[in-house]
Amino acid sequence: MNRFYRIPRQWLVLLLCWTSLGVYAQEEVKLAPVTRTYAITNVNIIQGPGRKVDMGTVIIRNGIIQNVGKNLAIPADAVVIKADSMYVYAGFIDGYSRVGVTKPKEEPNRERPKDPGNPEPAQAGITPQNDVRASLNPADKTVEDLRALGFTTAQVVPYGGMLPGSAAIVQLGGNSANDMVLVGNSAFYSELTPAQRVYPNTVIGVMSKYRELYRQASQAKAYESLYASNRAGLERPVSDKILEAFYPVIDKRVAVLFKAERNLDINRVILLQKDLGFNVVLGDVKEGWDMINKVKASNAKVFLSLDLPEVVKEEKKDDKKEESKKPVDAEKEALEKRKAEAVAQYTAQASVFQKAGVTFGFSTASAKTKDIPANLRRMIAAGLTEDQALAALTTTPAQWLGIADRVGTVDNGKLANLVITDKPYFNEKSKVRYVFVDGVLHKYEVKEEKKADAKNGNGKKADPNGKWSYTTETPQGNSTGVIKIKNDGGNYSGTITNSMSGQETELNSIVVDGNSLTFTFGFNAGGGTMTIEVSLTIDGNDFEGTMSVGSFGSFPMKGSKDPNQ
Amino acid sequence: MKKIIITLLILASVSLVQAQVERGNVLIKGGTVLTVTKGTLENTDVLVRDGKISQIGKGIAAPSGFRVIDAAGMFVMPGIIDAHSHAGIDAINEATAPVTAEVFTGDAVNPFQVGLYRALAGGVTSIHAMHGSANAIGGECETLKLRYGVKDPEAMKMEGAPRTIKFALGENPTRVHGSGNGIVPRTRMGVEFVIREAFSQGKAYMEAWDAYNKAKVQKGFRGTPPAYNKRLETMADILRGNIIIHCHSYRADEIYMLLNVCKDFGIKRLVFQHVNEGFKVAPELAAYGAGASVFSDWWAYKFEVYYSTAYNAAILTKNGVTTSINSDDGELMRHLYHEAGKTQKYGQLTDDEALALITINPAKQLGIDSRVGSIEVGKEADIAIFKNHPLSVYTIPMITIVDGIVRFDREKDADDQRIYVDPKQTIDVTLHTSTGHDHESCMQGAVYETAKLFGFNLLEK
């Protein structure tokens, strides 16, 4: 800690007083910081995409970036963060998610709907009058988790059905719901999600209802203005909070933020948009690469999903067995290949959008938080440049959300939303060290990385070499035998012998990874050969794991090394 | 002048909205051309230019850049049209209310279903992607062209095809709403009432709007417009003659009932679907001008479908009813040519009569017969090429063409014709397990949902 903080001596005294006083006075209450002035020194400042200041200083005062540059005077009241050779970026902006939004307790309504065709609006998921600001919680764990990745701002939406309510742009910090809010009513949030058990119960029902509500709202709005201009002889318009919620959308003062993950969702949202004419933002797009021209034509703003499908693990090929490959293996291989190609398409989506000249932001709505940095790196490996990724995390969403004057770059006068990392953010080994939200500092301790071979219990890489005796438990009783494995310069070979039959069978696809050992072997089951897959974890001279026998299931297997070998 | 500019602008925006249809150039050489409407032409060439049939004759030279298909010894027929399908859409039944005229299957088109390719592999080029039969009045349906390979759902839609809507009589709507939810209709009488009530409301709605629109242009008009209602708007469009009714039905009495209802409301465009007892009211159907789209020999899957005969299509045809044979099923859709062939065993229909059941007649029922359904100059080049006569049990579909583009080629296509692959799927070697033949995708969604929710055992047929 001392390494990074250079606190002027006169402040140290004061600091001590403050702390002790604070502790005596109010134990439970969070303390106000000693100072709201910080100087981040000797840091690589990435002010924005393509704008870099080497070894400069960023000065923050009262939640605002006061100065950015080289050779700046450090204010006397500043806490100095010696960010030597670190990197500072503008805090990232999540275009669409539910971070910090309290999930309503699901009330399992098992009551049989009396007339499913005419439900109450709320039961049908029609609550556009709701506001996400009513369910914000800065202490929600999602806030802390996303902030730890460098996100400082997010556009968040309420939970619900087809029309959950209005979105808000929030800061990922603060002590109260009100502290969080940067902009209220930032978007009219919509989904194509059908209602449960009642109308609209299908996507065609949802789309039809959406059109009807929108047109009814347009009609009601037009009548209200007619009535306002001259009331004589006109019936009084009836107030309807659901239809009134559409008015800002009809006026194009607020855009519709639509969840649109799949290709087909995007098409359906654009169908509605063409029919009704609202301004649209597509949220959490995962499968949009074939829809780019449509997206362009619709003038939609796009938040691409930071969720990606998992990488297909490549199976190690056994060249010796190539000739005896069965047709079913070839088919399986072809299917795996197509699956891998599909994963690659998802991963390349961002760069395909970029190349097509469609700018985009990112959304974390359905991404696993811990996967986000790796997913960004995968997108970059698939052709997105680091600057483009940074723009999608900062400047583009700032502009689209109408907050570019306050966030998105490291510039004088902007909110002190910053992320500081020890290596460039998109480097695999990069760690977030500090995050500022509204000038409030959040620190992250870096754990010492374990050595790779420390995985094993006794500090060594597992050594499968040798003779092992094993036991498996199957419904037919326990079975025992011997496994012999030979390491020939990294190439493993081996056999398995069942003590009942005495039959020795060769092992295939032996893979040793850290302390895990996997292999397969063939089992002659009357007429056909069945492949048995074994997956074991070695701990010193013992192993434990499972043996999978096709559709018969998998059974526990354990064993130990013969000490004489 | 201003008007012209506005019209041009509207036209321009319409063409922008519509998906670009890919059209091909191809010469099909030397096949036996089964035109269906203009007889059979031996050893004849069909020239397709820009997606349309431009010339039919002998010894046509291939213009440069045209793909040439050697069809010598093969049979060239119009692409098969399935007037009753639920393929290519992600939602079938909005089964929550007895009348859901406002919903539209065209909102849920899914061009990635591999079943569409399998249909192409059975010579099918167009399908009527229908709403299900859970409701007395279901939703509007979409006519699709099987341009399999396109990634834009809008490009699957047959641009400019007339609007159609699904109605349903008998056991399905009474079971879902009457037995399931305890609301009208619980009986066949109830179904008639629901339909008549919906038409009456639609009529009142239409009249209210007509009156308002007329009054609105009067000077000094002050008044309130009728409240917009999408369901009644659709009912009004049926009354205006803008939508063709396709009604799921089995029994003669209820078929006759709907004829009377339509007569009362002045509705002329009407096609009955399934129509297993159609043979009992064939003269009445013919007199009304109503169509019938039937199964060749599929029945007895529930009580109202026991009184059936394989002669149904032939009897209807001989009585002058525009008749088609449909699939309502992903598997049956792949061999509609066999289904049509059965009418030669049961009813001795001629080749042209049998082929008309799966080409020009369904085209008429969908209102697209001026564009597809036969091999004629000027029509869209939706063509299926078979080895052996398509009505023979030995026939093999070889090539299927939509708008002049080869969409299925038995010899050249890859094994895996999926367009999108689920990146999360697990690939296991699995044994094929059959869950039995599952009838009536019509009730997909509705039966399962209702059974699940209310604990009724509705899964039996």
Average confidence (pLDDT) over A200-226: 97
Query: What CATH number is associated with residue A379?
Result: 3.20.20.140
Confidence of residue B432 (pLDDT cuts 50, 70, 90): low
Q: Check pLDDT > 80 for residue A462.
A: no
Structure tokens at B422: 């689920």
Nearest to A476 by CA among A498, A495, A508: A498
Q: Is the pLDDT of residue A165 over 60?
A: yes
Helices (H), A382-460: 386-393, 395-400
Which residues pair with residue A90 across a beta bridge? A418
**Mean pLDDT (whole number) for A99-111:** 82
Contact A202 B153 (CB under 8 A): no
Position A267 confidence tier, pLDDT thresholds 50, 70, 90: very high
Please give the residue of chain A at the shortest CA–CA distance from B227: A216
Single residue among A376, A391, A407 that ends a domain in this structure? A407
A309-318 pLDDT, tens digit each: 998 776 555 5
CB contact under 8 A, B224 and A235: yes
Q: What is the mean pLDDT of residues A94-109?
A: 88
Query: Which strands form B124-129's sheet, in the order they lie side by side?
Result: B80-85, B124-129, B137-145, B163-168, B243-249, B270-274, B291-294, B323-325
d(CA A291, CA B108): 16
Is the pLDDT reported for residue B368 higher than 90?
yes
Token pair in block for residue A113: 């709907």
Q: What is the mean pLDDT of residues A319-344?
A: 80
Give the domain extent around B107.
80-217+228-369+443-454
Compare CB distances from B421 to A200, A207, A342 and report the shortest one's residue.
A342
Helix (H) or strand (E) holding A292: helix A292-297
Which positions ≥6 away from A364 have C-beta within 8 Å? Answer: A94, A96, A97, A99, A146, A151, A154, A306, A372
Q: Which of A367, A337, A361, A345 is nearest to A289 (CA)?
A: A345
Of the candidates A202, A208, A328, the beta carbon closest to that of B230 is on A208
pLDDT of residue A505: 84
Share of chain B above pLDDT 90, in %: 86
Residue A267 to residue B154, Cβ atoms within 8 A: yes
Neighbours of A524 (CB within 10 A): 10
Does residue A426 sit in the same domain as residue A359?
A: no
Residue A531 pLDDT: 79
Of the two residues A342 and A25, the one the predictor is more confident about is: A342
Q: How is A149-198 classified by DSSP, letter by letter?
A: TTEEEEEE----SSB-EEEEEEES--SSHHHHEEEEEEEEEE--PPPSSS
Report the alpha-carbon distance of residue A376 to residue A371 in Å, rounded: 9
Minimum distance, in Å, between the CA of residue A322 and any CA atom of chain B: 18
Which chain A residues contact residue B104 at CB under 8 A?
204, 207-208
- Contacts B423 to A, Cβ<8 Å: 309-310, 312, 339, 342-343, 346
Q: What is the pLDDT of residue A19?
A: 40
Instruction: Compute the nearest-CA separation of B420 from chain A (Å).
Output: 7
Q: Is the pLDDT of residue A212 over 70?
A: yes
pLDDT digits 0-9 by tens, A435-458: 999 999 999 988 765 544 444 444
- Given strand A301-305, what is the order of strands in its sheet? A92-97, A151-156, A165-171, A181-190, A256-259, A280-285, A301-305, A361-363
Average pLDDT over residues B436-457: 52
Q: Tokens 């396709």, residue?
A: B246
CB atoms within 10 A of CB B233: 17
Alpha carbon distance, N-terminus to C-terminus of chain B: 63
The reported pLDDT for the residue numbered B437 is: 47
Mean per-residue pLDDT for A41-68? 96
Residues of B in contact with A116 (CB under 8 A): 96-97, 181
Average pLDDT value for residue range B138-160:
97
C-beta separation of A280 from A255 below 8 A: yes
Which residue would you say has higher pLDDT here, A458 or B25?
A: B25
Residues A135 and A280 in one domain: yes
At residue B9 the predicted structure's pLDDT band, cuts being 50, 70 and 90, is: very low
**Beta partners for A471?**
A480, A558
Whether residues A427 and A382 share a domain: the answer is: no
| Cβ contact, residue pair A219, B421, below 8 Å | no
pLDDT in tens, B316-365: 999 999 999 999 999 999 999 999 999 999 999 999 999 999 999 999 99
Q: Which residues of A touch B94 (CB under 8 A)?
A: 199-202, 204-205, 208
What is the number of CB-based contacts under 8 A between chain A and chain B?
140
Q: Has residue B431 been placed in a domain?
A: no
Q: What is the pLDDT of residue A30?
A: 66
Residues of chain A above pLDDT 70, percent: 87
* A204, A307, A326, best to mutate vs chain B, most B CBs in 10 Å: A204
Are A19 and A1 members of one domain? yes
Which residues have CB under 8 Å from B69's CB, separation 6+?
B26, B27, B28, B29, B385, B399, B406
Q: What pLDDT does residue A476 have?
A: 64
Contact A223 B416 (CB under 8 A): no
Q: Do A274 and A400 sit in the same domain of this protein?
A: yes
Q: How many CB atoms lie within 10 A of CB A509?
A: 16
Query: Which residues in chain B are contacts of A331 at CB distance < 8 A?
Result: 415
Nearest Cα of chain A lies from the Cα of B336 at a distance, in angstroms, of 29
Residues A391 and A422 in one domain: no
Weakest mean pLDDT among A463-472, B60-69, B216-225: A463-472
Q: What is the pLDDT of residue A322?
A: 55
pLDDT at A396 over 60: yes
**pLDDT (0 to 100) of residue A93:** 98
Q: What is the pLDDT of residue A538?
A: 86
Q: Do B418 and A291 touch (CB under 8 A)?
A: no
Proportion of chain B above pLDDT 70, given as a percent:
89
Q: Distance from B313 to chain A by nearest Cα, in Å?
A: 33
Q: Is A161's pLDDT higher than 70?
A: yes
The whole-number pLDDT of residue B18 equals 54
Distance from CA of A270 to the nearest CA of B (A): 10
Separation in Å, CA A399 to CA A301, A384, A391, A405, A407: 11, 20, 10, 8, 9
* Final residue belonging to a domain, choices A407, A436, A465: A407
* A442 and A518 housed in the same domain: no
Q: What does the pLDDT look like over B150-176, one tens digit per residue?
A: 999 999 999 999 999 999 999 999 999
Question: Which residues does chain B have within 8 Å of residue A202's beta carbon, measured at their own beta carbons?
Answer: 91-94, 103, 108, 445
CB contact under 8 A, A204 and B107: yes
CB contact under 8 A, B416 and A346: no
Characterize the bridge pairing of strands A79-82 and A37-48.
Answer: parallel
Give residue A561's identity as a one-letter amino acid code.
K
Whether B335 contacts B121, CB under 8 Å: no
**Test mutation, B186, B228, B444, chain A, max A CBs within 10 A:** B228
The number of distinct structural domains making up chain A is 3
CB contact under 8 A, A342 and B422: yes
Query: A142 and A22: one domain?
Result: no
| Domain contains B307 | yes
What are B106's two structure tokens? 């065209």
Rounded CA separation A485/A492 (Å): 7
Domain enclosing residue A38, as ranges: 1-90+409-449
Q: Is the pLDDT of residue B29 over 90?
A: yes
Nearest chain B residue (CA) to A550: B429
- Residues B434-451 have a mean pLDDT of 55
Contacts with A118 from chain B: Cβ below 8 Å: 97
Alpha-carbon span A269 to B154, nearest angstrom: 13
Testing the interface with B: which of A202, A206, A275 to mutate, by most B Cβ within 10 A?
Answer: A202
Name the minimum distance, in Å, from the CA of B416 to any CA of chain A. 8
In this structure, how many other beta carbons lie within 10 angstroms of the beta carbon of residue B118? 18
| DSSP type of residue B177 | I
Check residue A328 and give its pLDDT. 79
Tell me: the pLDDT tens digits for A347-386?
999 999 999 999 999 999 999 999 999 999 999 999 999 9
- Whether B421 sits inside 8 A of A338 (CB atoms) is yes
Q: How far off is chain B from A333, nearest CA to CA, in Å?
A: 9
pLDDT band of residue A110 (cuts 50, 70, 90) is low
Q: In this predicted structure, what is the pLDDT of residue A315?
A: 59
- Same domain (yes/no): A399, A436: no
In chain B, the number of structural domains is 1
CA–CA distance, B349 with B266 (Å, rounded to integer): 34
Interchain pair A336, B427: CB under 8 A? yes
Classify residue B432: in a domain, yes or no: no
B402: enclosing H helix or E strand: strand B396-402
For A338-347, B5-14, B198-207, which range has the lowest pLDDT when averaged over its residues?
A: B5-14
- Assigned domain for A210 exists: no
Closest B-chain CA to A232: B222
What CATH number did the domain enclosing B88 receive?
Answer: 3.20.20.140
Asked if A402 and A494 sit in the same domain, the reply is no
The verdict on a CB contact (< 8 Å) between A234 and B222 is yes
Which pairs from B366-369 meet CB under 8 Å and 24+ separation?
A: B366/B81, B366/B83, B366/B126, B366/B128, B366/B143, B366/B161, B366/B162, B366/B164, B366/B244, B367/B161, B367/B162, B367/B164, B367/B244, B367/B269, B368/B81, B368/B126, B368/B143, B368/B158, B368/B161, B368/B162
Categorize the per-residue pLDDT at A540 as very low, low, confident or very high, splitting at 50, 70 and 90.
confident
Give a yes or no: residue A325 inside a domain: no
**Cβ <8 Å between B427 and A211:** no
pLDDT, one tens digit per residue, over B286-328 is: 999 999 999 999 999 999 999 999 999 999 999 999 999 999 9
Residues A46 and A76 in one domain: yes
Q: pLDDT band at B457, cuts 50/70/90?
A: very low
Cβ of B107 within 8 Å of Cβ of A271? The answer is: yes
Please tell me the distance in Å from A436's CA to the nearest CA on chain B: 37
CB contact (8 A) between residue B90 and residue A117: no
User: What is the arithmetic mean of pLDDT over A163-191?
Assistant: 97
Q: Please indicate, yes or no, whether residues A129 and A262 belong to a single structural domain of this protein.
A: yes
Q: Do B103 and A116 touch (CB under 8 A)?
A: no
Q: Average model confidence (pLDDT) for chain A?
A: 88
- Verify whether the Cβ–Cβ distance B222 to A205 is below 8 Å: no
* Alpha-helical segments (H) within A368-420: 372-381, 386-393, 395-400
State the pLDDT confidence band at B412, using cuts at 50, 70 and 90. Answer: very high
Judge: B423–A223 Cβ closer than 8 Å, yes or no.
Answer: no
Q: Does residue B59 belong to any structural domain of this protein?
A: no
What is the nearest CA distance from B232 to chain A, expressed in angstroms?
A: 11
Query: What CATH number is attached to the domain comprising A426?
Result: 2.30.40.10
The more confidently predicted of residues A105 and A247 is A247
Q: pLDDT value at position A530?
A: 73
Q: What is the pLDDT of residue B454?
A: 44
In a domain, B111, yes or no: yes
A198 neighbourhood in chain B, CB within 8 Å: 96
Q: What is the pLDDT of residue A3?
A: 44
Tell me whether residue A510 is in a domain.
yes
B204/chain A closest Cα distance in angstroms: 18
The C-alpha of B388 sits at a distance from chain A's nearest C-alpha, in angstroms, of: 31
